[in-house]
Amino acid sequence: DKVAFFPLEDGSMNFIFSLTSPNDQTGEDGIGIINSKNLGTQDTLTHVPGGSGSSKYRSIYSGGDHVATIMSYPHEGIMVLNGQDGSLAGTVKTNEATTRVMYVPEQPTGAYCSAD
């Protein structure tokens, strides 16, 4: 799985992983998160349920206050997370067969993909 790095004001870093289970199409794979301060003391990632991928690879990218990763279930789109704590900010439907997150704007723009 891929990782996004999200720096925090205290100097620590959140490592946010896109989790995948391609054969399980429940839409709950979500992400795993761990803070650099917890490395060596926390044995597992904290799981945040959310969108699922349809392959072994899920693009993930951080920008502004958010992290975004692609998803295929329960719909094609982007899963948007709060970079501070990894909580699910929401999902956005996009064109079918999303393969990459290339950029996450500093502020929401309202300009998202459409299926048209």
What's the mean pLDDT in 35-53? 85
- Which residues sit opposite 48 in a β-bridge? 31
Number of helices (H) and strands (E) in the chain: give both, helices first.
Answer: 0, 8
Q: What is the pLDDT of residues 47-106, one digit of tens each?
A: 888 777 767 777 888 888 889 888 888 888 888 889 998 888 888 888 777 777 766 666
- The CA distances from residue 43 to 21, 33, 37, 46, 113, in Å, are 20, 12, 13, 10, 38
Banded model confidence at residue 9, pLDDT cuts 50, 70, 90: very high
Question: 41 by DSSP, 3-state: which?
Answer: coil
pLDDT confidence bin for 32, thresholds 50/70/90? confident
Q: What confidence category does residue 115 fall into, taking pLDDT thresholds of 50, 70 and 90?
A: very low
